[in-house]
Structure 1
Amino acid sequence: MSWLRARCPDCRTLTAVAVGDEYQCHSCGREFAAGLVRVPRAWGRGGEAMAEAASLPLPYPEAAVIAHDTLEEQTAALAAGLPPRPLVLGGCCCAHMGAIRGLSRRPGRLAVVWLDSHGDLNTPESSPSGNPWGMPLRAAIDEGAVRCEDVALVGSRSLDPPEVAFMAQAGIDEDVDRALAGCDRVYVALDCDVLRPDQLACFMPEPGGPTVDALVEVLGGIARTLPVAGLGLTGLRPQADPAVLARLAAALAL
């Protein structure tokens, strides 16, 4: 089954159609492993640069642009409008909430590997800043879109005390093998500030972190273990190099 869904990044016609999990352009013949969804919002104070970065060019058919006035509207629209295998290019990490919600409704058990220098495990009550972008992983867990045992938080190095306490209580750590065990597919939520600050232009860089080469190895290991249901790229600045983003997606066979 196929349907007209997306603008081809090569010939710019609206003739890229979903065929199974992939896309084919009926005009130029190109094939793509994912459909691009842009989410040009950042739900917090001062996140305009992240929102602008959602317009970065990526070599995937553009299936949708999700822009709404409230976070819940954004999450619901994204969950309902996901392509078969989404590549979500968001502003802040709140874009992952809709992706996880939508993918969790599909058959099979979903794992989430959350790569981020921050925990994103706060609640409105525990957050020091009050910015919603510090809460999306916790929100996805609390609404039941993913189980704690199916979550790995990788690369975090700036955690608030309530986040540390929640991780200990819930059994969340950076063990990817543990999170993938027993699952059927995986969504990779990649806040690019997980990288070392000199590797890519990100909104909230933190000292330390992997190089792009090291992260590519991690992503490749995930893709060799479970089918990749989707990828989200968030936390960027408009100066970020699209070639690096395309390389990270390619490491997941997207």
Structure 2
Amino acid sequence: MPLLVPYHLDEHLADFDWPAEATRTVTRPESPPGATTWEPLRALYEQVASAVAQETGRTAVVAGDCMASLGIVAGLQRRGLDPSVVWFDAHGDVQTLETSTSGYLAGMPLRMLAGYGRPYLADPLGLRTVRESRIRLVGARDLDPPEVTYLANSEIRRCTVEDLDEAQLPDGPIYLHLDVDVIDPGDLPGLTFPANDGPSLTAVRSALRRVLATGRTAAVCIACNWHRHRGAGTILRELASELLA
């Protein structure tokens, strides 16, 4: 059964239609008065990292946003693994505090895994930087100009969902990340940040199977970015059951 991280950033998601049942749930410790923006997130992802580090075999996680990936990768590293990253997402998630017009932190986790802003979360978690050459960004199509510029000059390789095959995967154990908004909103209603002209649910499922078939997936996370009770959780139950098994 998957580990549940029922938070969007540090907001607890109560009464949420998760696509899978969980026997383990991460709870964020209470923050002291006057805590900075980062302190609650450090506390939460430390709990995630600790839980993942204690796992054996492939770890399954369901989370309320993509930022939980920082704790997951840190936990895999504590286990002695050196994971690469295969990141399914309609968005780049490679913004920074300096480039983002909204300041939305959940638009930055892939950039943080690649080494940006280490004092904020990576250093407190003991998270080692994942080399850009070991990151694959799959299905991204809704990119802000700073993200386009960064990706054009980085070693992160991009591909479509349909084109992803074993030859394009990075080496070593894999952290497989699925932000469900990579799926076309016509197949998945109620997405928080829908992006049109995306792959079908069937195409995404096939691509995920190709990654799992390598036998190198050390952890998998489903980031559940949708509005409550509009159907997405029910639609994704079959996929989640297969992916998190």
The normalised TM-score by structure 1 is 0.74
Question: Against the structure 1 CA distance between its residues 66 and 87, is the aligned structure 2 distance closer, same or farther, given a 3 Å change threshold?
Answer: farther
Match of 2:137 among 126, 134, 153: 153
Structure 1 letter corresponding to 2:238: R
Unaligned runs of 5+ in 1: 1-34
Specify the alignment match of 1:210 in structure 2.
Answer: 199
Return the offset for 1:154. Answer: 0.8
- Write the mapping of 1:132-151 to structure 2, written as runs, cut at 5 A: 132-142=105-115, 143=122, 144-151=128-135
- Write the mapping of 1:73-112 to structure 2, written as runs, cut at 5 A: 73-82=43-52, 83-84=55-56, 85-112=58-85
| 1:67 corresponds to 2:28 | yes
Query: Tell me, what secondary structure is at the counterpart of 2:111?
Result: helix
Matched-pair contact (CA < 8 Å) for 1:122–1:138? yes
Return the offset for 1:179. Answer: 6.0
Return the offset for 1:241. Answer: 3.9
- Write the mapping of 1:166-245 to structure 2, written as runs, cut at 5 A: 166-175=150-159, 177=166, 180-183=169-172, 185-200=173-188, 201-234=190-223, 235-239=225-229, 240-245=231-236
Return the offset for 1:152. Answer: 0.7
Return the offset for 1:251. Answer: 4.5
Specify the alignment match of 1:128 in structure 2.
Answer: 101
Return the offset for 1:219. Answer: 0.4
Return the offset for 1:72. Answer: 1.3
Matched-pair contact (CA < 8 Å) for 1:66–1:78? no
Q: Matched residues in 2 for 1:219 and 1:158: separation?
A: 20
Structure 1 letter corresponding to 2:228: P
Question: Against the structure 1 CA distance between its residues 53 and 113, is the aligned structure 2 distance closer, same or farther, given a 3 Å change threshold?
Answer: farther
Matched-pair contact (CA < 8 Å) for 1:40–1:55? no
Matched-pair contact (CA < 8 Å) for 1:101–1:145? no
| 1:249 corresponds to 2:233 | no
Per-residue Cα deviation, 1:51-75 (whole angstroms, up to 9, x for no partner): 347552514x422223345111111
Structure 1 letter corresponding to 2:48: L
Q: Matched residues in 1 for 2:98 and 2:2: separation?
A: 34
Bigger fraction of residues in strand: 1
Query: Tell me, what secondary structure is at the counterpart of 1:187?
Result: strand
Return the offset for 1:80. Answer: 0.9
Q: Matched residues in 2 for 1:214 and 1:88: separation?
A: 22
Count, aligned residues? 214
Question: Against the structure 1 CA distance between its residues 196 and 52, is the aligned structure 2 distance closer, same or farther, given a 3 Å change threshold?
Answer: farther
Structure 2 letter corresponding to 1:133: A
Question: Against the structure 1 CA distance between its residues 118 and 53, is the aligned structure 2 distance closer, same or farther, given a 3 Å change threshold?
Answer: farther
Return the offset for 1:134. Answer: 0.5
Return the offset for 1:162. Answer: 1.8
Unaligned runs of 5+ in 2: 32-39, 116-121, 123-127
Query: Tell me, what secondary structure is at the counterpart of 2:153?
Result: helix
Matched-pair contact (CA < 8 Å) for 2:226–2:232? no
Question: Against the structure 1 CA distance between its residues 79 and 203, is the aligned structure 2 distance closer, same or farther, given a 3 Å change threshold?
Answer: same
Matched-pair contact (CA < 8 Å) for 2:26–2:47? no
RMSD value, Cα: 2.5
